[in-house]
């Protein structure tokens, strides 16, 4: 069976819409048409709630069994043609889907999300208009889907916005030229599109009725993961005590042993179960993937790029973790390891080198700033890290550098007792710059307490130990 898919706001459904539908059916272009009113988030300030637009569609086509109406888009608050077609493909397996569009829409069709996928997977019916669209049409030849030109469909120039203006300005008009009688009566009954219109909440179900009719399966689902960016700072081995002290900044990575991204490195992470909170999930997956627990964690950022996970739609709630590696009581699992990181930035290009005793690699990412001053990152060269975890690591480094300037986070990476020099070296490793000793000590003085303990290292005289005041 050939099934046409006709989407639009239908705000309201008018006679031109109806003429297109009936002409396509009567002339044998398709055997059935599914009408698909857009989601309520569509960028039109006067868009009626989907339930009212659905009702008007039902009234307009109540006697035509060849027409079905789908609430998929407005229930899921979306306007995404390829996703709607994929959904309808699951509803009508084995049938051929034809997306119906006006010839004027061809001009910008290559800006639609996954337009090539649509052309390869589905078919198009183009409603002929009195415009020249040969050049646009030529661009879309060569794909697997069929493109059909419907040239005998009569259309007039009426638009939904004109009808809304008639009502808004309280103008008299001959509704029979524009609207089905049942639709016209329904609009007048409800007062749609008139100045001062407010939705009648008496139309709303009561709470018990709402829950009894609610079907979770009617709505799209997405998955959520927690991913942990666990940082540490450790000593660099010295050949002699005369060498300058220095520490190195590191991040914990896990080598994947399953698809997708098999054999690539990623952050410790996993899917949130239905019966656990985000932080509980973060603690659970950190232990299960690395054997670490009792680690300081704080929620960092939500990563939501649509294509960030090739398996399905997945949001990642990232957590920033800090640990003193010297205090770790558990051994890491064999596929988990700390990697030292060196970061360099040239204008908007950031290069990060990851290395340990076993391996090393380098990734490059670009920093962009939008008009609101919000920083985003885009991978330029990344053959080693899975998903968008390079983005998560760079975001975490930036956040940590900012936060240690005004919080006490750094002490989660320190032992109970430490020298001021050790503390300064941790700050320098994270900030990636040398600090002036007297200035640092003045700024840190209110956060630490001097103890009566000392430590002697190498050929140096004993150093006084301090502890965190918090």
CATH value of 230-403 in 2.60.120.370, 3.40.640.10, 3.90.79.10, 3.90.700.10: 3.90.79.10
How many helices and strands (H and E) does the chain possess?
Answer: 13, 18
Tokens encoding 389: 């975890």
> Residue 222 carries which DSSP code?
-
Tokens encoding 188: 């007048």
pLDDT in 10s for each residue of the chain, 470 residues: 999 999 999 999 999 999 999 999 999 999 999 999 987 655 566 788 888 999 999 999 999 999 999 999 888 877 789 999 999 999 999 999 999 999 988 989 999 999 999 999 999 999 988 888 888 889 998 999 999 999 877 666 678 888 888 888 877 878 888 899 999 999 999 999 888 888 776 666 788 988 898 888 877 889 999 999 999 988 776 554 444 567 889 999 999 999 999 999 999 999 999 999 999 999 999 999 999 888 999 999 999 998 999 999 999 999 999 998 877 767 899 999 999 999 999 999 999 999 999 999 999 999 999 999 999 999 999 999 999 999 999 999 999 999 998 999 999 999 999 999 999 999 999 998 999 999 999 999 999 999 999 987 766 688 899 999 98
Tokens encoding 145: 């889907």
CATH number of 409-468: 1.10.10.10
CATH value of 2-213 in 3.40.250.10, 3.40.50.2300, 3.40.640.10, 3.40.50.620: 3.40.50.620
The Cα 429–Cα 447 span in angstroms is 19
According to DSSP, the residues that pair with 235 across neighbouring strands are 247
The Cα 369–Cα 419 span in angstroms is 39
The Cα 288–Cα 145 span in angstroms is 46
The Cα 33–Cα 127 span in angstroms is 14
Asked, colleague to colleague, whether 230-403 and 409-468 share their fold, the answer is: no
The Cα 386–Cα 74 span in angstroms is 34
> Residue 68 carries which DSSP code?
E
Tokens encoding 384: 């080693």
The Cα 291–Cα 226 span in angstroms is 16
pTM comes to: 0.75
Domain boundary assignment for the chain: 2-213, 230-403, 409-468
């Amino acid at each position: 069976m050939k099934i046409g898919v006709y989407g639009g706001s239908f705000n309201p459904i008018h006679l031109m819409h109806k003429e297109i539908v009936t002409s396509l059916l009567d002339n044998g272009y398709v055997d059935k048409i599914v009408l698909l009113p857009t989601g309520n988030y569509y960028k039109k300030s006067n868009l009626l709630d989907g339930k009212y637009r659905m009702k008007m569609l039902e009234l307009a086509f109540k006697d035509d069994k060849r027409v079905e109406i789908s609430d998929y888009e407005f229930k899921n608050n979306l306007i995404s043609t390829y996703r709607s077609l994929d959904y309808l493909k699951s509803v009508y397996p084995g049938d051929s889907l034809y997306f119906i569009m006006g010839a004027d829409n061809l001009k910008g069709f290559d800006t639609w999300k996954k337009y090539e996928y649509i052309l390869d997977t589905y078919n198009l019916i183009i409603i002929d208009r009195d415009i020249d669209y040969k050049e646009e049409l030529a661009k879309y030849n060569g794909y697997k889907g069929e493109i059909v030109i419907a040239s005998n469909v009569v259309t007039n120039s009426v638009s939904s916005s004109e009808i809304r203006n008639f009502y808004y300005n309280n103008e008299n008009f001959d509704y029979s030229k524009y609207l089905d009688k049942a639709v016209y009566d329904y609009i007048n009954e409800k007062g749609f599109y008139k100045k001062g219109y407010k939705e009648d909440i008496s139309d709303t179900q009561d709470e018990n009725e709402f829950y009894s009719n609610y079907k979770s399966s009617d709505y799209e689902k997405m998955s959520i993961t927690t991913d942990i960016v666990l940082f540490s700072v450790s000593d660099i081995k010295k050949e002699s005590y005369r060498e300058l002290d220095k520490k190195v900044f590191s991040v914990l990575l896990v080598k994947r042993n399953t698809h997708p991204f098999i054999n690539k490195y990623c952050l410790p992470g996993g899917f949130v179960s239905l019966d656990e909170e985000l932080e509980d999930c973060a603690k659970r997956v950190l232990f299960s993937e690395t054997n670490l627990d009792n680690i300081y964690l704080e929620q960092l950022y939500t990563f939501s790029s649509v294509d960030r996970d090739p398996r399905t739609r997945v949001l990642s709630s990232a957590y920033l973790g800090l640990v003193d590696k010297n205090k770790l009581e558990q051994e890491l699992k064999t596929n988990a390891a700390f990697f030292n990181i060196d970061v360099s930035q040239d204008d908007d290009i950031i290069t990060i080198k990851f290395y340990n005793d076993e391996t090393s690699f380098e990734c490059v990412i670009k920093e962009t700033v939008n008009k609101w001053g919000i920083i985003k990152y885009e991978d330029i060269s990344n053959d080693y890290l899975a998903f968008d975890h390079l983005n998560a690591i760079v975001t975490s480094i930036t956040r940590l550098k900012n936060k240690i300037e005004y919080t006490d986070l750094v002490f989660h990476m320190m032992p109970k007792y430490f020298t001021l020099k050790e503390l300064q070296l941790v700050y320098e490793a994270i900030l990636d710059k040398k600090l002036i000793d007297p200035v640092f000590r003045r700024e840190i003085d209110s956060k630490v307490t001097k103890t009566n303990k000392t430590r002697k290292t190498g050929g140096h005289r004993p150093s006084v130990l301090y502890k965190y005041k918090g």
